[in-house]
């Protein structure tokens, strides 16, 4: 079983604008991901290695909203196959490349599962690795999002 832990968010001040409201509305210019990106990978908790897809829903200022989708195929012991999803909210610090996300609301909750938090570092190539915040949990890894096709301008 996985468990939740609240992860504190630190939102550093920005020097790009003196208007806090304008900063909150501005998209994350330095984020290596964008709205609609699907980052695939895995995480490890008490049930074992579990497939993870993080879907980026929104980026505003330092704020990030995402959906945590997981699929545990089952394995030895008492852990049966399970899948589910929940919304997450948190922040990305472009200067330190730190990503922090907290579980917010279940979309699909399998029996025996609770939301977790993610604290990780985004590499220059866009991969993310770090710690899953919850008792019995350890690490996660996400591949960089696939490059987006840019439409040609005429």
Residue 19, pLDDT score: 47
* Alpha carbon 30 to its chain's center: 16
Ranges in the chain, pLDDT < 70? 1-30, 76-78, 148-154
Q: Are 127 and 142 in contact (CB under 8 A)?
A: yes
End-to-end CA distance of the chain: 54
Contacts of 154 (CB under 8 A, 6+ apart): none
Question: 32-142 has which CATH code?
Answer: 2.40.128.620
**How high is the pLDDT of residue 13?**
37
- The residue written with tokens 């301008």 in the block is 153
pTM summary value: 0.77
Distance in angstroms (rounded) separating the CA atoms of residues 123 and 125 = 5
What 3-state class would DSSP assign to 21?
A: helix
Q: Are the C-beta atoms of 146 and 32 separated by less than 8 Å? A: no
pLDDT at 33: 86
Give per-residue pLDDT as tens, 91-112.
999 999 999 999 999 999 999 8
Check residue 20 and give left, alpha or beta (phi > 0: left; psi -120 to 50: alpha). alpha
DSSP 80-135: PPEEEEEEEEEEEETTTTEEEEEEEEEEE--TT----EEEEEE-TTS-EEEEEEST
């Amino acid at each position: 079983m996985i468990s939740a832990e609240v992860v504190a968010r630190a939102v550093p001040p920005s020097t790009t604008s003196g208007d806090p409201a304008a900063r909150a509305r501005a998209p994350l210019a330095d984020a290596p991901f964008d709205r609609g990106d699907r980052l695939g990978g895995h995480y490890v908790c008490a049930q074992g290695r579990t497939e993870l897809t993080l879907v980026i829903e929104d980026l505003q200022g330092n704020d990030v909203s995402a959906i945590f989708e997981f699929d545990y195929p089952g394995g030895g012991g008492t852990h049966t196959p399970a899948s589910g999803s929940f919304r997450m909210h948190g922040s990305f610090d472009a200067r330190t490349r730190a990503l922090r996300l907290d579980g917010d609301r279940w979309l699909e909750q399998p029996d025996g599962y609770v939301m977790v938090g993610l604290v990780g570092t985004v590499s220059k190539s866009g991969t993310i690795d770090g710690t899953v915040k919850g008792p019995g949990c350890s690490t996660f890894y996400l591949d960089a999002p696939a490059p987006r096709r840019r439409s040609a301008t005429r």
